[in-house]
Amino acid sequence: MSIVLLARDLGLSISTVSRALNGYEDVSPATRERIFKRARELGYKPNPGARRLKSGRSSMCGVILPSAGDGVRFVDSVYSSLLGGVEAELENGGYSLIATMQTRNDPVREAALYENFIKGGWVDALLIVRTRVNDTRVALARKHHIPFVTYGRTETTEPYAWVDTDNEKAFYLATMRQIEFGHRRVALLNGPLEFYFARLREKGYTKALAKHKIPSDPLLMLNGDLSEVSGFAMCRQLLALPAPPTAIVCATDAMAIGALAACRERGIEVGKNISIVGYGNSSHSAFADPPLTTIDHAVFENGRHIGQSLLRLLRGDAKPADIHYLEPVVLVPRKSDGPCTK
Amino acid sequence: MSIVLLARDLGLSISTVSRALNGYEDVSPATRERIFKRARELGYKPNPGARRLKSGRSSMCGVILPSAGDGVRFVDSVYSSLLGGVEAELENGGYSLIATMQTRNDPVREAALYENFIKGGWVDALLIVRTRVNDTRVALARKHHIPFVTYGRTETTEPYAWVDTDNEKAFYLATMRQIEFGHRRVALLNGPLEFYFARLREKGYTKALAKHKIPSDPLLMLNGDLSEVSGFAMCRQLLALPAPPTAIVCATDAMAIGALAACRERGIEVGKNISIVGYGNSSHSAFADPPLTTIDHAVFENGRHIGQSLLRLLRGDAKPADIHYLEPVVLVPRKSDGPCTK
DNA sequence: TAGGCCTTCAAAAACGTTTTTGTCAACGAA
DNA sequence: TTCGTTGACAAAAACGTTTTTGAAGGCCTA
């Protein structure tokens, strides 16, 4: 089924059919109606390749999902909700979202993948997730003049469109809560510092410490990947310290759950003898033992904002410099934290 | 950068350049080399829309990821690993994988989405995940003559290419283990029966019971979604029974973790007073309290098989009827199960 | 009544490829 | 010498759209 066949069937010219379908004004309402009806009947769908070829628009936004290689968790479950939100918004604007995966973490291959994605012309706009402090991807997108919004911020002099959760505030809140519980040795289990979110979380953490004139202790600031395994290992390390922390704030719920297990192993009662808070309000955090105090940050909502931002950019309603959205966070108190007993 | 510009730059015809780049034989090695070199220098990438338009091939396989609606976990983390494996294999064959999301669970919209995806001509082949007992999507793919492989089986008379984990075996093993522990009242916390995997799990479960001449009790066979919340609620329900089960097998680790929490709430010691096994060997199962006995099923490996199968289909190396792969499963014993004490 | 302006449609060029069908020269065999 | 064969390249058509340009007819205005 092509537009040619459809036009022939209707006894109209190709151009009239095309213009009707694309909402131009110079088609009479009666004809337009007739065209739409028949198009639906015959199940006509414009060939996106041809459309892209001629008009330069594909009606698709793209995202490349990061991986952690073989077997390891491939897409953070956070992205699931995020992309759901993005898609839900884009849909309203007649766009859709396609994702492709990055199987390896090699920066050269990553660049090639993005180059391919952009130059190939599959997508009209890009979503860049898991931003790094120095992110070559935003330079690349800019170079190719493709609209983009980042989820997470980055270090750059030029303006760019971003949506982010308030990582700094989140860790300021979490750390503050620990301090107000009377804790003085508060540890931070953070992600790799190459990611901007990790920097911001560290910043929020140190700010809270500074506010209460507590010197920050490098021994208590650890970086690992965001998994349970890593949280478990780092917490073990902390507990073996001559002066172990009495409280821990973790970069993910997964890490916190790893930490919970490490404490259990040592017979330390979490919520009483040690105070732990996670981040993300993941689905299993409420069912951990003890239920995890954590920070909730409307990921789906964030996705919606990204979707809207992409649409505004694509329609020319806004410049990148106009698009900055910081999603608020809220602490969800449960049972894994509590007053300092030492 | 187009092939026209590249050809002009080289002083060759468009067709020669195209044929060289596409590996045809009738280009001299010297010229071929020159073309490849210059193409790389100028960063030439063929426009996929134009290529698709002319040749009918897009070098892309597609998958539509299911959702559970607003806010709820959007992509099962299982798919993360799965798609990683698929992509890793496809890459070798010069294909790549694109995913799009299904924001709502409405079957009409789902059909439209698939129709769009297929008719739009974005993809050369399809991966269909989370198959249902009666799955309209395989009928649709067949109708449009697009190669496809399913992850999970379905009920159909015609042959089709599938890759699956041995769900029946998995639940046969898990249930058998419980029975051999001396349990007689073994409950099954299953997924919705519209999904084929849920049927197979039920089958494995009942088979094990039958083997030991234990009548299956409908009160002990519950169906819910695959989340912690659902596992929690259903386990609560089981424990309130006049004759509660002494063992539970769960369709996902998430459900099992919910069940763990329900037992904790009641002060029932898991692994001693009740025996629970999960499914999936998810990253947090090892860190649950107690560590969860579960079933491991190489998801990434499954993805690789899917990728290979798609490639074989695309190359015409195999017919759908030739492609049936059942991934073996292995039980990972940990601490959440044990002998019957009642 | 003539000129101009809408309204509604159509013709045709273009987008960047792939592929079919050549062309031309060199070469070997009869 | 002639005739086919082969090797290396080129011309041109086609894929299914969008968009520019234009044309026919009706209507309004002077």
Q: Which residue has the higher pLDDT, B239 or B143?
A: B239
For residue B181, give the nearest of B212, B222, B218 by alpha carbon. B212
pLDDT of residue A84: 87
Spatial distance between the Cα atoms of A206 and A190, rounded to a whole number of angstroms = 12
pLDDT at B102 over 90: no
Average pLDDT, stretch A82-97?
A: 90
The answer to whether the C-beta of B72 is closer than 7 A to strand D is no
The answer to whether A103 faces chain B, any CB pair under 8 Å, is yes
The residue in chain B having the minimum alpha-carbon distance to the alpha carbon of residue A299 is: B71
The answer to whether A258 faces chain B, any CB pair under 8 Å, is yes
Q: Do A258 and B48 touch (CB under 8 A)?
A: no
Q: Above pLDDT 70, what percent of chain B?
A: 97
Chain A, 144 to 173: residues with Cβ < 8 Å from chain B are: none
Distances (CA, A) of B189 to A286, B60, B198, B221, B268: 20, 38, 10, 6, 18
The answer to whether A109 faces chain B, any CB pair under 8 Å, is no
Residues in A closer than 8 angstroms to B259, CB to CB, are: none
Q: Name the 3-class secondary structure at B251.
A: coil
The answer to whether the C-beta of A22 is closer than 7 A to strand D is yes
pLDDT of residue A94: 86
For residue B81, give the nearest of A67, A270, A80, A111 by alpha carbon. A67
Distance of CA B24 to the CA centre of its chain: 37
pLDDT tens per residue, range B2-31: 999 999 999 999 999 999 999 999 999 999
Average pLDDT, stretch A24-49?
A: 93
Going by pLDDT thresholds of 50, 70 and 90, the confidence category of residue B110 is confident
SS3 content of chain B, % helix, strand, coil (to 5): 45, 15, 40
Alpha-helical regions (H) of A212-341? 228-239, 253-266, 299-315
Q: Calculate the angstrom distance between C1' of D6 and CA of B250.
A: 69
Spatial distance between the Cα atoms of A312 and B5, rounded to a whole number of angstroms = 34
Residues in B closer than 8 angstroms to A45, CB to CB, are: 115-116, 119-120
What the block records as the tokens of B317 is 């190396």
Neighbours of B291 (CB within 10 A): 17
pLDDT tens per residue, range A233-286: 999 999 999 999 999 999 999 999 999 999 999 999 999 999 999 999 999 999
pLDDT of residue B73: 45
Residues in A closer than 8 angstroms to B261, CB to CB, are: 286-287, 289, 291
Note the residue count of chain A. 342
Q: Above pLDDT 90, what percent of chain B?
A: 77
Q: Calculate the angstrom distance between C1' of D10 and CA of B27.
A: 12
Q: Calculate the angstrom distance between C1' of D4 and CA of B3.
A: 35
Q: Which nucleotides of C are covered by protein (CB under 7 A)?
A: 7-20, 22
Spatial distance between the Cα atoms of A167 and A196, rounded to a whole number of angstroms = 10
Element of type H or E holding A146: none
Partner residue facing A284 (CB), from B121, B122, B254: B254
Q: How many CB pairs under 8 A join A and B?
A: 162
Q: Calculate the angstrom distance between C1' of C4 and CA of B286.
A: 83
pLDDT at A192 over 70: yes
For residue B27, give the nearest of B9, B15, B39 by alpha carbon. B15
Q: Do A119 and B257 touch (CB under 8 A)?
A: no
Q: Above pLDDT 70, what percent of chain A?
A: 97
Going by pLDDT thresholds of 50, 70 and 90, the confidence category of residue A74 is very low
Going by pLDDT thresholds of 50, 70 and 90, the confidence category of residue A20 is very high
Spatial distance between the Cα atoms of A76 and A252, rounded to a whole number of angstroms = 11
Spatial distance between the Cα atoms of A170 and A329, rounded to a whole number of angstroms = 6
Query: Over the range A270-294, which residues count as b (16 or more CB within 10 Å of their CB) and which as e?
Result: bbeebbbbbbbbbbbbbbbbbbbbb
**DSSP label at residue B232:** H
Angle between helices B77-92 and A77-92 (to 10 degrees): 80
Going by pLDDT thresholds of 50, 70 and 90, the confidence category of residue B76 is low
Cβ pair A313, A149 in contact under 8 A: yes
What the block records as the tokens of A295 is 């920070």
pLDDT at A122 over 50: yes
Q: Calculate the angstrom distance between C1' of C26 and CA of B47.
A: 37
Summary mean pLDDT of chain B: 92
The answer to whether B283 faces chain A, any CB pair under 8 Å, is yes
pLDDT at B70 over 60: no
Spatial distance between the Cα atoms of A295 and A273, rounded to a whole number of angstroms = 21
pLDDT tens per residue, range B251-265: 999 999 999 999 999
Cβ pair B306, B86 in contact under 8 A: yes
Per the listing, tokens 């299953």 go with B190
Q: Do B49 and A49 touch (CB under 8 A)?
A: yes
Partner residue facing B84 (CB), from A96, A101, A116: A101
Q: What is the largest CA-CA distance in chain B?
A: 87
pLDDT of residue A243: 96
pLDDT of residue B169: 98
The answer to whether A227 faces chain B, any CB pair under 8 Å, is yes
Spatial distance between the Cα atoms of A249 and A187, rounded to a whole number of angstroms = 6
For residue A278, give the nearest of A224, A332, A319, A230 by alpha carbon. A332
pLDDT of residue A102: 81
pLDDT at B166 over 80: yes
Summary mean pLDDT of chain A: 92
pLDDT at B71 over 50: no
Going by pLDDT thresholds of 50, 70 and 90, the confidence category of residue A73 is very low
pLDDT of residue A76: 64
pLDDT at B153 over 50: yes
Going by pLDDT thresholds of 50, 70 and 90, the confidence category of residue B141 is very high
Q: Give the 3-state secondary structure of B118-178.
A: HHCCCCCEEEEECCECCCHHHHHHHHCCCCEEEECCCCCCCCCEEEEECHHHHHHHHHHHH
Q: Do A88 and B75 touch (CB under 8 A)?
A: no
Q: Do B99 and A99 touch (CB under 8 A)?
A: yes
pLDDT of residue B48: 87
Q: A132 pairs with which residues across the strands?
A: A195
Q: Calculate the angstrom distance between C1' of C16 and CA of A114.
A: 21
Neighbours of A164 (CB within 10 A): 22
Per the listing, tokens 């001299």 go with B28
Cβ pair B93, B30 in contact under 8 A: no
The answer to whether the C-beta of B14 is closer than 7 A to strand D is yes
Going by pLDDT thresholds of 50, 70 and 90, the confidence category of residue A70 is very low
Partner residue facing A87 (CB), from B45, B50, B101: B101
Element of type H or E holding A161: strand A161-165
Residues in A closer than 8 angstroms to B43, CB to CB, are: 115, 119
Cβ pair B273, B248 in contact under 8 A: no
Side-chain-side CA neighbours of residue A94 (13 Å): 7
Residues in B closer than 8 angstroms to A291, CB to CB, are: 261
Element of type H or E holding B101: strand B96-101
The answer to whether the C-beta of B12 is closer than 7 A to strand D is yes
Residues in B closer than 8 angstroms to A115, CB to CB, are: 43, 45
Average pLDDT, stretch A104-119?
A: 80
Pairing type for strands A96-101 and A60-65 reads: parallel
Partner residue facing A100 (CB), from B81, B96, B291: B96
Phi, psi for A324 (deg, rounded to 5): -140, 115
Partner residue facing A97 (CB), from B100, B120, B283: B100
Q: Which residue has the higher pLDDT, A32 or B122?
A: A32
**Is the previous residue joined to B66 through a cis bond, with omega within 30 degrees of 0?**
no
Distance from the B255 Cα atom to the nearest Cα atom in chain A, whole angstroms: 10
The answer to whether B87 faces chain A, any CB pair under 8 Å, is yes
pLDDT at B68 over 70: no
Spatial distance between the Cα atoms of B164 and A191, rounded to a whole number of angstroms = 35
Average pLDDT, stretch B54-79?
A: 71
Q: Do B48 and A80 touch (CB under 8 A)?
A: no
For residue B276, give the nearest of B178, B172, B200, B169 by alpha carbon. B178
pLDDT of residue A67: 64
The answer to whether the C-beta of A26 is closer than 7 A to strand D is yes
Average pLDDT, stretch B62-79?
A: 64
The answer to whether A265 faces chain B, any CB pair under 8 Å, is no
Nucleotide nearest to A17 (CA to C1'): C9
Q: Which residue has its C-alpha nearest to nucleotide D7's C1'?
A: B26
Angle at the Cα of B202 from the Cα atoms of B197 and B204, rounded to 5 degrees: 95
Chain B, 18 to 47: residues with Cβ < 8 Å from chain A are: 43, 45, 47
Average pLDDT, stretch B22-47?
A: 94
Q: What's the one-letter identity of residue B64? A: I
The answer to whether B55 faces chain A, any CB pair under 8 Å, is no
Phi, psi for A283 (deg, rounded to 5): -60, -30
